[in-house]
Amino acid sequence: MDWVRQECHEQGATGVLVLNGFGVEQQVPSLRRFAAEHAVTTPRASRDRIARGVGPVLAYVPDEKTLDFAARLARGSSLAVVESIHGFPLQGWARQLGAVDLTRPDEQPVPFDSEVAEAIGRLDLYKNNGFGDSFGKQQARRILQGLRSAGNLERDVILGALAARGASDRAVRNLAKLIDSLDSR
């Protein structure tokens, strides 16, 4: 929150707190204070409520849909995301974007090895229908099986990386189902 406040000050902008649902901000004292100073919204709120690019965005334990919404709001500004062990995993998202972990600012993000980076790039090509059509599923399954055979299929990392590359929440959920179906075989 301190980082987002500093970004707001430097940009001369108002921040935005993005939540999965209203009311969460009242349960956490630091979020309550932040919400009193900045705009608060959710993906389900009126689209007119918050304009894109208004200022730095703080996404609090987002799911796939909320992360996608927060990233779109933050275009042209800054985005900070608070991860939860029970929420959408952000390791792959952070690695894809080269994001800095504000709890460990001296550690540099670990880039993907070339095989995983190439697979993520190929998955990105087939995400346009949200991995909902048979061709997209077939191609994704082939790529994922190759990663699994090489011992490089890290579910959460792949899902986060695709989210960072602009995959819709629907595409991320469908890809998760494909990965889970491979693991159950």
pLDDT digits (tens, 9 = 90+) for 60-108: 999 999 999 999 888 889 999 999 888 888 999 999 999 988 888 888 8
Q: What pLDDT, on a 0 to 100 scale, did the predictor assign at position 7?
A: 94
Helix (H) or strand (E) holding 125: helix 114-125
Rounded to whole angstroms, how far apart are CA atoms 156 and 59? 18
Rounded to whole angstroms, how far apart are CA atoms 129 and 174? 10
Helices 114-125 & 134-149, crossing angle to 10 degrees? 170
Instruction: Give residue 10's pLDDT band: very low, low, confident or very high (50, 70, 90).
Output: very high
**C-beta separation of 178 from 141 below 8 A:** yes
